[in-house]
Amino acid sequence: MADARFTPDDLASVSIKDLGAVVVVRMTGEIDGSTGDLVGDPLFSCLDTASNPVVVDLTNVEFIGSTGLNILVRARETALRRAIALRVVASTHPVLRAMEISGLDTYLPMSRSISEAVTSIVVPTDADR
């Protein structure tokens, strides 16, 4: 019988889409110790170079463990340090429950949809500067 091990690529994926006013980092699958680098590295690269707000879309995440939660905390800290708006979109029970249990639902700016996240981000205009 063949060894049926999963690779991180089988368990999670990440894509980045620049929508102009915001950058959406969409994660899918399971975010845990085995997939943390796969989804975290692109997010941090995006945060290191972004000049616009970043939305982390977790609507297609089926599981998030402590590694995933830690990635979100580090992402918020990076965004605060760089003065970039960051919002997390989550709508599935497993992700919302993990956020609630960990208390991150009160630490991270959360939305239920990408459109809600985008409209809740206040982007300064020239008149505000």
Per-domain residue ranges of the chain: 12-116
Q: Which CATH architecture has domain 12-116?
A: 2-Layer Sandwich (3.30)
Express each pLDDT in 26-78 by its tens digit.
999 999 999 999 999 999 999 999 999 999 999 999 999 999 999 999 999 99
**Between the CA atoms of 97, 69, 40 and 3, what dihedral angle is there, to the nearest 10 degrees?**
-70
Return the H-helix or E-strand segment holding 13: strand 12-18
Q: State percent of the chain over pLDDT 90.
A: 81
